[in-house]
Amino acid sequence: ETGVTQTPRHLVMGMTNKKSLKCEQHLGHNAMYWYKQSAKKPLELMFVYNFKEQTENNSVPSRFSPECPNSSHLFLHLHTLQPEDSALYLCASSQDLENGYTFGSGTRLTVV
């Protein structure tokens, strides 16, 4: 365990479903992130939160909706996804925006 816990580990959902990914850290970090990792592509930054405030939305489609209720928890709400959204979704946290990240193990999402 890295200190960043992601649930579920695997998720299969239909295109009309609504689901949420959860990320939790108890490292005392103040920044949290969502990244998407697709096959044969670099990690894509999706969202950045610093002290619960969103500081970055990297042109992510509105069918992905993040939520950060406190500095320890981060959610990614999914709605009306497309098959091309199938990927490994990685959550990370860091002490602040200038330090290295601690990653969770990811959620493997398959959209059918």
Site string for another protein, 23-42 (x = CB under 8 A): ----------x-x-x--xxx
Report the residue number, 6 or 111, with the smaller CB distance to another protein.
6
- Structure-block tokens of residue 104: 């969770």
Q: How far apart are the first and last CA of the chain?
A: 30
CA 6 to the chain's CA centroid = 9
Q: Is 103 in the site for another protein (CB under 8 A)?
A: yes
Instruction: State how far the Cα of 24 lies from the Cα of 12, in Å rounded to an integer.
Output: 21
The residue written with tokens 């200190």 in the block is 3
Binder among 7, 38, 99, 110 for another protein (CB under 8 A)? 99
Residues found near another protein in the complex (CB under 8 A): 2, 4, 6, 33, 35, 37, 40-43, 45, 48, 55-56, 58, 88, 90, 92, 97-106, 108
